[in-house]
Amino acid sequence: MIESIALFKPHSVVVYQSFEGGRTQENAASLENLEKGAKGDYNGYMSPATRRQVKKYLDNWLLSMTITTTGKITRNSIYPTFITLTLPAAQAHDDNDIKRNMLGYFITQLKRYHHVKNYFWRAEPQQNDNIHFHLVVDAYIHHAQVKKAWNSILDQYGYLETYRQNLREHYRAGFQINGQEAKQYIKREAEKLTRAGKKPNEKVLYWASVTQQRQRYERGQRDNFNTTQPNSTDIHKLKKLRSITAYISKYLTKANDVDSQMKEKGRDFMDRKINGRIWGCSDDLKTLTYHAETVAIEDFDMSTTNDEVKNYLDKLAQVLKAEDVIKDENFTVYRLNVENRKLMQEHAPSLHHRYQTHYNNTFLQLYGSLQTSFT
């Protein structure tokens, strides 16, 4: 029996063939590769297969939130938030220790006090070789709360003291500008502005950083930097949900990011690969799937076709540019842009309804027990 199945993704429709019966893995190279897992010989990159899998979780999780969340954002809202966690001083613990104790406890705190139910995290090396984390969570959290929680954990592991000691050292002869910090500040803030559709002014940002540094210096003078809190966190509230869905899943899974950072320093990525896992998420996210429908079934002399889906796919083939229909012996991909994403509603209304229902159900599956906060 041959079944062709269509997956309805946010930015594409993929049609592939499914055959009855299982397969066995007998290729020697493949089996040898599997041995690598046993030895821990990972290369530290996210593989294309893993990237696909992660994208599936994020696409469906975020899309379920965009479709079902409406109205006012409150403290109890289910709302995607993007957090970056960094170490404010040179890394002094093993990656696995940091993930287990520091990141793990941070996530526990988010769940306990900040209404976070589902999460996704990704670990990457920074240019300074420190590990750092990107997280996506499903609650609206104030940036000060995030900073407080992470800094308190950093404090337990000595990173705040080292950071403060470095500050004292840096300012031993009075105030001076930290050019490296200003540079990083400009980069980070410029990205933020660009994302918000504004044009960054480097000079303005530079002086903003200097002002920030001077204020920190002056506050620090009062108590020898004993209470200075580093900016170890960065947070984005994701307001334009639809466009951001693509942004996050792309950004978080882009191996080239790390690659290019390392190339700047003339080094190979292997010099600094993350030990152990490089990503993780709550179990519930792992159950998520794209909306799938059977297009046709062929069984000996019998065949059945889902006419509505078939017609919709034909319509896409007509309307889309040639380069947006990628056809192979075994699969077809229809790449959708903002405009032709509307075609489903128009040309296959009941399919569109089932598609919507899929995401309503996805949302209920994840948050059913929390529905009251949304009505």
Partner DNA sequence: AGCGTGTGTATAAGACTCGT
Partner DNA sequence: ACGAGTCTTATACACACGCT
Q: Which residue, 42 or 247, has its beta carbon nearer to DNA?
A: 42
Q: Are 17 and 3 in contact (CB under 8 A)?
A: yes
Out of 81, 229, 282, 306, point to the residue binding DNA (CB under 7 A). 282
Is 297 near DNA (CB under 7 A)? no
CA distance readout (Å), 121 to 83, 137, 188, 221, 231: 9, 9, 20, 37, 19
Is 8 near DNA (CB under 7 A)? no
**Would you give the DSSP letter of residue 273?**
P
Strand order in the sheet with 325-327: 302-305, 291-299, 2-8, 12-19, 331-335, 325-327
User: Under rule CB under 7 A, how many of the chain's residues touch DNA?
Assistant: 58
Residues 233-262 contacting DNA, CB under 7 A: none
Residues 27-66 contacting DNA, CB under 7 A: 27, 29-31, 33-38, 40, 42-50, 52-53, 56
Tell whether the torsion through CA atoms of 40, 44, 46 and 49 is positive or negative.
negative
Q: Which residue, 152 or 162, has its beta carbon nearer to DNA?
A: 152
Is 303 near DNA (CB under 7 A)? no
Is 276 near DNA (CB under 7 A)? yes
Q: Which residue, 96 or 243, has its beta carbon nearer to DNA?
A: 96
DSSP string, 274-310: PSS-SEEE-GGGGG---EEEEEEEEETTEEEE-HHHH
Q: Which residue, 9 or 216, has its beta carbon nearer to DNA?
A: 9
Cβ neighbors of 264 (< 8 A, separation 6 or more) are 127
The residue range among 83-91, 130-138, 173-181, 323-331 that interacts with DNA, by the rule CB under 7 A, is 323-331
Q: Which residue, 188 or 273, has its beta carbon nearer to DNA?
A: 273
Cβ neighbors of 15 (< 8 A, separation 6 or more) are 4, 5, 6, 7, 295, 313, 331, 332, 333, 334
Amino acid at 239: K
Out of 161, 331, 341, 370, point to the residue binding DNA (CB under 7 A). 331
Q: x-or-dash pattern for DNA, window 94-133, by CB under 7 A?
A: -xx--xx---x--x-x--xx--------------------
Query: H or E element: which one contains 13?
Result: strand 12-19
Q: Which residue, 53 or 305, has its beta carbon nearer to DNA?
A: 53
For residue 172, the minimal CB distance to DNA (Å) is 32
Q: Which residue, 129 or 155, has its beta carbon nearer to DNA?
A: 155
Is 283 near DNA (CB under 7 A)? yes
Q: Are 13 and 313 in contact (CB under 8 A)?
A: yes
Dig out the tokens for 265 from the structure.
């320093």
Q: Are 249 and 59 in contact (CB under 8 A)?
A: yes
For residue 10, the minimal CB distance to DNA (Å) is 12
Dig out the tokens for 318 from the structure.
């007509």
Residues of this chain that interact with DNA (CB under 7 A) are: 2, 7, 14, 16-19, 22-25, 27, 29-31, 33-38, 40, 42-50, 52-53, 56, 95-96, 99-100, 104, 107, 109, 112-113, 156, 275-283, 286, 328, 330-331, 333
